[in-house]
Structure 1
């Protein structure tokens, strides 16, 4: 590797580090802002203590500054512009849903069996940033149900009906149903007697928007896994960017959107259209100055009424746990980020089933990761052995390579490589033999890089000093943010980096690496320390275990591999006459032809 190549690689590594540079508020500022936001929600009555399955906020008052204007009352739905903003609670064993009579919408959702990272009630969204309104034209006037008052007309232990009245015989009902357990809230929207009032009454336009609250310790990481997801019927899931703001018209004439998800890192709010969506426009925005809201998400869709005049919908408010999402149907599990390309299939069909199998034993997740790593190392042990053996052969050949280098010199690198290839061929050594097994292992290593950050099961789970395996384990923290490190140092990331440096040292001893390649091996772990310092402790724990188990594997292999026997075998191969019938591999033939052309070009320059 020449100096220019080394410089280029080094600059690429520096760019990677710069890409992970972040500016975060201090931990005290975040905590203070979250406490203030929670207190405001409690004060407004958006977060309540658990109570009856269905209850109405008896303290609700008529909205201020409302005046009854007879002219307004004569307009379409004019009477609905005046009313009381009541909060109606519908809850089961898993979720608590606050319904607001203003707009008839879901005002707030609390997941009862989960807490935020700081052990507070986990409320997905609440407040004025949440909208759910159908828009249509009635008697040449634009109507949006989000701004009109509904009345509660029917109640049971599992359902509530909110009505938007035009006349006693003409109205729109929102029928909410919630089973005794689970994370799904049913909603049937039905217009009665309004076909001659609502223009183009066969379809209704819906705007759904929510400001999703911070639930996890690391706002940056939560934002990196949060955006709008949507899925076409019988097709793959798609999503907007996670790295910034984006707006997209997702309408497709040939296929309907089945569901739209306001996805956070570990929780989602999903709107499922049982009959599909005709038109879809989705948007995600990030207020980088907000300490409490992860992202603002919006969906504008067109929904068709069925033969009975109804629009059947469902909400899913719950965790992004693969097994739970799969039980909901509609392929909701496709929104769990398992990586791209082949990585996705490795995680979904290999790693996840093994993890779920181990999870049945109710072990601590630190133990499960340990067993998972051991199983992986056992499966890959043949490749590890071949890699070590190939590097050992190259180490044994190094004295002869040094002799060739001294004889030929470094002034003609093409000729030097040709002589090396001749030596490899006589000795029966593949110079890429140590690299290929490592390359074959890389997809699995990278797959874990996506698997652990997306694994809901690690959320809030502790092991040893790590209080939460789904986020970083800060051993040292400071108030301000500095490049590379942020505002903390992760102990497990530090241990992983140290073990990688030690592994690199011993690996260099085995392979005989020298010069620039040797130093790149030491620089890379330091770069990855900056990259992984804010990644989940569970991921760094896995990499640490992988390094330690590799030490053990190489120690055992070293006991089995005798350098003297390898040297004797190489010398034996060198004495064998070359078989003229043996065809060269395509790779070897191309390498020899390329070097021959380079040699001719160099000779031409000398002339």
Structure 2
């Protein structure tokens, strides 16, 4: 096997590795969901004091129940507070959000982002709401227990604060009855995406603790954030579980139906989508004994992606837990303000919510690329034009590396006849063949690695580009060409078929992937010589012409912004290659090497 074939195998392996890396990192294939049915449970009260927890677990079942109708509200009734006897909805609306509540459990059943659209409607951040699973619902005890479904009293405190409260009774360790009031109070800011949730357990003075099993309660985040997507079709939208601990962000990807428990402490935890995120920040994180991430439930073919925070047992008669919650866009200007108390109305600092934007060790490169795009956008306010201008700039800047790689490849093609002679002559003596090959390379002034190193140097840029174009928030809803590319964050479309396209999936006919593959095939055709094709054989041809077709199916539904960059990059590479071919041919003529039997690298069309 000659070195050219070996390098072809190495490079194709690198391409395949990169493809599978991208596939596994960004387009994890959904698994069939478990048919999980949530049922009501009888809760076991296991504590009135911390020391009684284990003893109570062996006792008879004791039921937690709402106090009878003779209960008194937490505060005296007035015009703003009333004892509610039927389920009702309440609404709080600010400049940025519109939130709907139900007094059943005191939970959120709707959370709209007014400035962000999803199919003509505001993005809904409280999706998959059902009678057994609501946003910021409480379950007494651990994460497996059913949520509280009792009707609560409601009190509208002001135009941005609402409270819900309910009195419950619990059987204590002596068999008597203790009562406590559960209060949930939501406070919103007129302009920001962070709200505050205060949960208060206020018991009788003689109540020495509260636990059900090994936990007081479990707080659930929104079952699923928006926008809606079908994971079986849209591989470029996703949900990732994230948490921030020890100055770094950690991410978890779960298959459908999985539950993952993390019990090592964190500063905040949440669920991130492609463009939106929810993050929960416990003010007293030490009270949270674990965080569970769940994808078990499914509503309308839309799998849950839910965070469940398990609160440790309450040791006294009173406990107040405060949580700050961010539910909004993954944008630096919205997330970064919570690192400096002077920049946000909550006076929060050093939360590092913007770490949810990070992409590991390539984040610095993505930041630089964003700077370039935003610079060009200020000159011409069209993100598609900005992508094209940035691509041109990068291609010009990378031309020395491109030239070095191309010249090395062309030189290798010129040396192929002599290499083939050495291989045929010493095919039965590998040691002698390697020695002669090394001697020949030295005489010819050729280093086999010289063509690969420039390509390897460009790999970080390729990955940074991929991640940036697949996540950059400004591309969402950004039009490039009306009627063809109205949104750079999703695939383009020129026609919608009435049924799904076989092999490809989806029903949209997309033009950009076709242009991209055509540019790739044209580039391959231009850069190959007859001698190189003969040396490589059918395996080389299969790789050269098969890989573009492979990428066609892989990236058919890729965001238009990403395909626009790749397509423009291919055409610029084609122009550069034609220039290099012409330069090399002129150099060979000058050196007297352009014999009649040496065909030029750039093939001319037959007339």
TMscore range, shorter length: 0.7 to 0.9
222-231 or 272-281: bigger deviation? 222-231
Counterparts of 2:393 and 2:185, CA distance in 1:
51
Counterparts of 2:97 and 2:415, CA distance in 1:
67
Aligned partner (choices 453, 458, 469) of residue 488 of structure 2: 469
Which secondary structure does the structure 2 equivalent of 1:257 belong to? coil
1:161 alignment counterpart? 163
Aligned partner (choices 276, 289, 299) of residue 267 of structure 1: 276
2:109 alignment counterpart? 107
The 8 Å contact of residues 92 and 179 in structure 1, kept in 2 or not, is answered as yes
1:519 maps onto 2:538 in alignment:
no
1:141-180 equivalences under 5 Å are 146-165=148-167, 171-180=181-190
- TM-score, normalization: structure 1? 0.72
Q: What is the CA-CA distance between 1:98 and the residue it aligns to? A: 1.0
513-522 or 282-291: bigger deviation? 282-291
Q: What is the CA-CA distance between 1:369 and the residue it aligns to? A: 0.9
1:146-225 equivalences under 5 Å are 146-165=148-167, 171-194=181-204, 196-197=206-207, 199-200=209-210, 204-212=216-224, 215=227, 219-220=231-232, 225=237
1:581 alignment counterpart? none
CA gap 1:159/1:79 in 2 versus in 1, 3 angstroms:
closer
Counterparts of 1:189 and 1:200, CA distance in 2:
14
1:435 maps onto 2:452 in alignment:
yes
1:459 maps onto 2:496 in alignment:
no
Counterparts of 1:497 and 1:77, CA distance in 2:
71
Counterparts of 1:569 and 1:235, CA distance in 2:
63
The 8 Å contact of residues 226 and 295 in structure 1, kept in 2 or not, is answered as no
Counterparts of 1:134 and 1:197, CA distance in 2:
21
Q: What is the CA-CA distance between 1:223 and the residue it aligns to? A: 6.7
The 8 Å contact of residues 223 and 264 in structure 1, kept in 2 or not, is answered as no
Counterparts of 2:589 and 2:320, CA distance in 1:
78
Counterparts of 2:280 and 2:530, CA distance in 1:
56
Q: What is the CA-CA distance between 1:288 and the residue it aligns to? A: 7.4
The 8 Å contact of residues 228 and 284 in structure 1, kept in 2 or not, is answered as no
1:326 alignment counterpart? 336
Q: What is the CA-CA distance between 1:544 and the residue it aligns to? A: 0.4
CA gap 1:224/1:274 in 2 versus in 1, 3 angstroms:
farther
Counterparts of 1:13 and 1:289, CA distance in 2:
36
Q: What is the CA-CA distance between 1:235 and the residue it aligns to? A: 2.9
Q: What is the CA-CA distance between 1:495 and the residue it aligns to? A: 0.8
Q: Report how many residues are paired.
A: 510
1:279 maps onto 2:289 in alignment:
yes
- TM-score, normalization: structure 2? 0.72
1:409-558 equivalences under 5 Å are 415-464=432-481, 465-478=484-497, 479-480=499-500, 482-484=502-504, 487-509=507-529, 512=532, 514-515=536-537, 516-558=539-581
2:134 alignment counterpart? 130
1:238 alignment counterpart? 250
Q: What is the CA-CA distance between 1:528 and the residue it aligns to? A: 0.9
Q: What is the CA-CA distance between 1:542 and the residue it aligns to? A: 0.7
Structure 1: any 5+ residue segments left out of the alignment? Answer: 25-70, 571-607
1:121 alignment counterpart? 122
The 8 Å contact of residues 103 and 132 in structure 1, kept in 2 or not, is answered as no
1:42 alignment counterpart? none
The 8 Å contact of residues 198 and 320 in structure 2, kept in 1 or not, is answered as yes
Structure 2: any 5+ residue segments left out of the alignment? Answer: 32-64, 75-82, 170-178, 340-350, 594-607
532-541 or 324-333: bigger deviation? 324-333
513-522 or 395-404: bigger deviation? 395-404
Which secondary structure does the structure 1 equivalent of 2:487 belong to? coil
The 8 Å contact of residues 405 and 451 in structure 2, kept in 1 or not, is answered as yes
CA gap 1:220/1:469 in 2 versus in 1, 3 angstroms:
farther
Q: Deviation digits for residues 253-292 of structure 1, max 9, x if unmatched?
A: xxx222221323322232221222532232332667834x
1:373 maps onto 2:391 in alignment:
yes
The 8 Å contact of residues 247 and 283 in structure 1, kept in 2 or not, is answered as yes
Counterparts of 2:234 and 2:259, CA distance in 1:
20
Which structure shows the bigger proportion of residues in helix conformation?
1
CA gap 1:496/1:508 in 2 versus in 1, 3 angstroms:
same
1:19-38 equivalences under 5 Å are none
CA gap 1:323/1:220 in 2 versus in 1, 3 angstroms:
farther
Q: Deviation digits for residues 123-151 of structure 1, max 9, x if unmatched?
A: 222532315344558xxxx9987323322
CA gap 1:475/1:286 in 2 versus in 1, 3 angstroms:
farther
Q: What is the CA-CA distance between 1:526 and the residue it aligns to? A: 0.8
Name the Cα RMSD after superposition. Answer: 4.3
Q: What is the CA-CA distance between 1:120 and the residue it aligns to? A: 2.5
375-384 or 542-551: bigger deviation? 375-384
CA gap 1:210/1:143 in 2 versus in 1, 3 angstroms:
closer
